[in-house]
Structure formats: C-alpha cells, structure tokens
Amino acid sequence: MEFSHLLQAVRDNPDSVTIPPQWGQGRASFGGLVAAMIYQAMRAKVGAERPVRSLAITFVGPAAANVPLSFEVEVLREGRAVSQLMGRVVQDGQVVTLVQGSFGAGRESVLDLPATPAPQAPAADECQEMPYIAGVTPEFTRYLAMRWCYGGIPFSGTPSRTMGGWVRMREQAQVEAVDEAHLLALVDAWPPALLSYLNAPAAGSSLTWTIEFVQPVATLTTQDWCLYQANIEHARDGYGHVAAALWSAQGTLLAISRQTVAVFA
C-alpha cells in the first residue's frame, strides 16, 4: 500500500487500520507514517481555516505491522483562533503513539520576520542516493528517496554533528500535492544523526518529536526534492537531542523539527 492509500484508510475507518510490513522500521512501523496517520484523524476534527501549527509526538511503544491500529482523537479546547487536540494510536488495547496538536487560524500581526535561510547544498543530482536494499535498509525506504550531502551514513564512524540531504517520495502511481502528512514522512525518513558516530550497527529510536509547520505550506508535489539538515546539540547517557529543519528546493522553510533520541550503544 502506498502512502496515500494508508492515509485514506484512516479517513475511511479510523477504528481499524493495519500497516503492512513493507512500511517497517526495525521491529516497529515507520514512525513518520504512524504520525501522518494520526494527524489525518486529527485533521478531520478541525475546520480547514485552522491549519496545523505544531505537533508534539511521543512514541510510547512500537506500532507492530499486520496488527490493527485505532486512531482516537479528543478535542481539548476550541478557542477563537486555536484548536488544541489530543490524538492516540492504540494497538491491542495499549497506546503506542500520543500526539498533542495545535491548529490555528492566521491573524494580523506587526511581526513579519523572514525564515532562517536554507543551508548551501549541492544539487540533488550530484548527491549519492541511499538505495533500498532488502534486509539491509529499513523496509519503508522503498517508498522514500534520500540523497546524502551532509555528514555520514549510519554506523560509518563519521564524527559529524550534521546529517542530511535531499528527500522526496519515490515514484508513485500518481503524483500528489504535498501537505503536512507528507512533510511528517519526509522529515522522519532520516535516521537519527547520532548513528553516524557509531562504527557498528546499534538500535536507535525517537522517544519524543516536536514538529512545527510553516503556514501556508509551499506548493510542492511528491516528486519535488526537499532539503533536510539535522544538527546534534547534545548526547549523553544513551539519549541525544537533535534539531532539524526542512526546506523546499527553492529555499522556502517548510518545517522545524526537534527530537529526543534513545541510542542503545
């Protein structure tokens, strides 16, 4: 099932959706997909005039493949301009993902500051793409293309605080407009930047993830490359703190991300 098919499955029946193993990430389903699916359920509870501004995501436990998930949404408050929602992904009676979302309509303001400029990067065509290799790379990478241009790949022993490059959805049956659900997948496609420091494979996973969206979302399609850069700010005691951002190829800021990552090495 393609990305769009799984999002539609949530819209059709949020009480029972099964993720196939092709969207796996180790023993769990791809976190960016799970976040995108609960976002779809949350989006349905808020008017279109209130775009999502931020999501605070906690990965409580792994969402297993081939086991039905339910997507539960509670509207915590409807203010004049902002709606606060809580979303839960439940599997076998247990919460596996918890999301607090803020959706807000725009309003007039004296503040109008430009975004931080995109970093310099070689063109996507000049960067090495990480291929999908069955049994080696995460299963979900068959659906997302990444081309490295900052830092090292996981387990390469590269002591770089920066990781990133170009990312987009791989070719699908139908080209689609990019929305916030796609941005969740594009940002989370990248492995934890901390893993490049390691010389041998080890497990690593996001514990918490906060992502903020720049509205309105720039006009993009699923075949447009976006530029991602992550920077490690601190790591100790098996946890790391990583700040990141995503830009369009034209340099438009799309999303700002922050993760706390657990590393088992």
pLDDT digits (tens, 9 = 90+) for 67-92: 999 999 999 999 999 999 999 999 99
Q: Which CA distances in Å does 41 have to 71, 74, 153, 231, 252? A: 7, 10, 34, 31, 27
Does residue 126 surpass a pLDDT of 90? yes
Euclidean distance between CA atoms 170 and 161, whole angstroms: 27
Instruction: Render pLDDT for 95-108 as a digit per residue (tens, 0 to 9).
Output: 999 999 999 999 99
Please report which residue ranges of the chain form alpha helices under DSSP H: 3-12, 31-43, 180-188
Instruction: Render pLDDT for 166-200 as a digit per residue (tens, 0 to 9).
Output: 999 997 778 999 999 999 999 999 999 999 999 99
pLDDT value at residue 74: 98
pLDDT value at residue 91: 98
Euclidean distance between CA atoms 131 and 133, whole angstroms: 6
Beta strands in the chain (DSSP E): 24-25, 28-29, 52-59, 70-78, 82-91, 94-104, 128-129, 144-150, 162-169, 204-213, 226-236, 239-248, 253-263
117 falls in which pLDDT band (50, 70, 90)? very high
Instruction: Please state the rounded mean pLDDT for residues 238-244.
Output: 97
Average pLDDT of the chain, as a whole number:
95
pLDDT value at residue 26: 86
Does residue 256 surpass a pLDDT of 90? yes
27 falls in which pLDDT band (50, 70, 90)? confident
Q: Residue 150 has which token pair?
A: 């900052």
pLDDT value at residue 90: 98
pLDDT value at residue 1: 83
pLDDT value at residue 237: 96
pLDDT value at residue 203: 87
The single-letter DSSP state of residue 251 is S
Look at the alpha carbons of 117, 102, 50, 166 in this order and tell me if their dihedral is positive or negative: positive
Instruction: Please state the rounded mean pLDDT for residues 30-56.
Output: 97
